[in-house]
Amino acid sequence: MTHLLVLPGGSYALHAPRSAEPVVEWLGELGIEASVLRYPVLTRHPGPLLAAREAIREQRAAGHDIVGVIGFSAGGHAAGLAAFAPGAAAAERVDFAILCYPAVSMELPHHSTSRINLIGDDADVELRAATSLDRLVDSQSPPTFVWHTADDTVIPVEHSYRLAAALARARVPHELHVFARGNHALALARGAGPAEAWTDLCRAWLSSGGWITR
């Protein structure tokens, strides 16, 4: 049985409602059980990562043999840490990850709010690298679905390109979809033009992976 943990966006300062319960409802329509993980905010690393690992263990203990994460913006970064960061016990590893316009690199200057809230404005180069998702990917990373918009000005699409390149180098099964238009924080992107297609693409990807059967 599959369970998906939903990590909403919010710059590591809050949990954006539009990428929380509405996403659970959408997944329910696909026949996937899901719940919102309200990871710690305004809390330094590794607080959100530890909370995610605890939630994954709880879902395993509840009898779910397949556990995935889906995250948006800063929540995409937190979900990516859960998927890619080293040191996870077997019960803390996810089977797949869905990252929606994620903050990927803590080394780039973009979206400094998330970086400052998670690791501080004075983080050294080692910590910035250690919390950059593209630096954490290896051959054991789980299958990953990523989407972004090309004209996102809050978290530029370069973040997702860096992650996709790392996944490709490590030969991790993945999909990357970049839509020409769309603002940041679209969540389900209903009525948002081309980016609205991401949910159908994601459903097809989930089905091809055997994580949903309808």
- Predicted confidence band of residue 2 (pLDDT cuts 50, 70, 90): very high
Answer whether 155's CB lies under 8 Å from 111's CB.
yes
Answer whether 98's CB lies under 8 Å from 145's CB.
yes
The CATH number of the domain where 115 resides is what?
Answer: 3.40.50.1820
- For 121, the domain range is 2-208
Q: Is the pLDDT of residue 213 over 70?
A: no
- Using CA atoms, how far residue 132 sits from 18, 20, 47, 193, in Å, is 25, 24, 16, 30
Q: What is the pLDDT of residues 186-205, one digit of tens each?
A: 999 999 999 999 999 999 99
Q: Where does the chain have alpha helices with state H?
A: 21-29, 47-61, 74-84, 112-119, 125-130, 133-136, 158-169, 198-208
CA distance 209 to 35: 20
Answer whether 135's CB lies under 8 Å from 162's CB.
no
Mean of the pLDDT values across residues 70-76?
98
Mean of the pLDDT values across residues 94-106?
98
DSSP 8-state secondary structure symbol assigned to residue 143? P
Q: What is the pLDDT of residue 197?
A: 98
Q: Which residue has the tokens 């990871």?
A: 39
Q: What is the pLDDT of residue 110?
A: 77
Arithmetic mean of pLDDT over the chain: 97
Q: What is the pLDDT of residue 109?
A: 85
Q: Is the pLDDT of residue 64 over 70?
A: yes
Q: Is the pLDDT of residue 158 over 80?
A: yes
DSSP 8-state secondary structure symbol assigned to residue 18? G
Domains identified in the chain, total number: 1
Q: What is the pLDDT of residues 9-28, one digit of tens each?
A: 999 999 999 999 999 999 99
CA atoms within 13 A on the CB side of 28: 9
Q: Which residue has the tokens 């238009």?
A: 181
Q: pTM for this structure?
A: 0.98
Helix (H, G, I), strand (E, B) or coil at 35: strand
Q: What is the pLDDT of residue 214?
A: 59
Asked if residue 131 is part of any domain, the answer here is yes
Asked if residue 197 is part of any domain, the answer here is yes
CA dihedral angle for residue 106, residue 14, residue 88, residue 44, rounded to 10 degrees: 60
Asked if residue 126 is part of any domain, the answer here is yes
Asked if residue 76 is part of any domain, the answer here is yes
Asked if residue 213 is part of any domain, the answer here is no
DSSP 8-state secondary structure symbol assigned to residue 193? G
